[in-house]
Amino acid sequence: MVKPKADTSRSKTWSVNARRSGLDYEIRQSIMGHADRMKPVGERYGFISDEEFITAIDKFTYDQGLTQILVASRAQK
């Protein structure tokens, strides 16, 4: 059975639009579930309040212009 690949284009599009909307990097990473993945242990103790999340979500827009997603082509057999 062939395992389907994850469709990451939606998360990449969201991430680009969130950055262009001015959302803080740490908040973007937290919303996407990557908050602690790449941080050194000493930087994992921060706290993002509900108000910070709400403010960030209110800033988010989808009308940030063209979003390009580059996809590597598969080698043909």
**In this predicted model, what pLDDT tens digit does every residue of 5-46 receive, in sequence order?**
556 677 778 888 888 899 988 888 888 877 666 666 666 667
42 located within any domain: yes
Is 14 part of a structural domain of the chain?
yes
Write down the pLDDT at residue 59: 87
Residue 64 lies in a domain: no
For 14, residues 6+ apart whose C-beta sits below 8 A from its C-beta are 32
Quote the CA–CA distance of 29 and 12 in Å, as a whole number. 12
Task: Return the DSSP state at 22.
Answer: T
Residue 69 lies in a domain: no
pTM: 0.57
The closest alpha carbon to 65, from 10, 4, 9, 20, belongs to 20
Number of structural domains found in the chain: 1
Residue 55 lies in a domain: yes
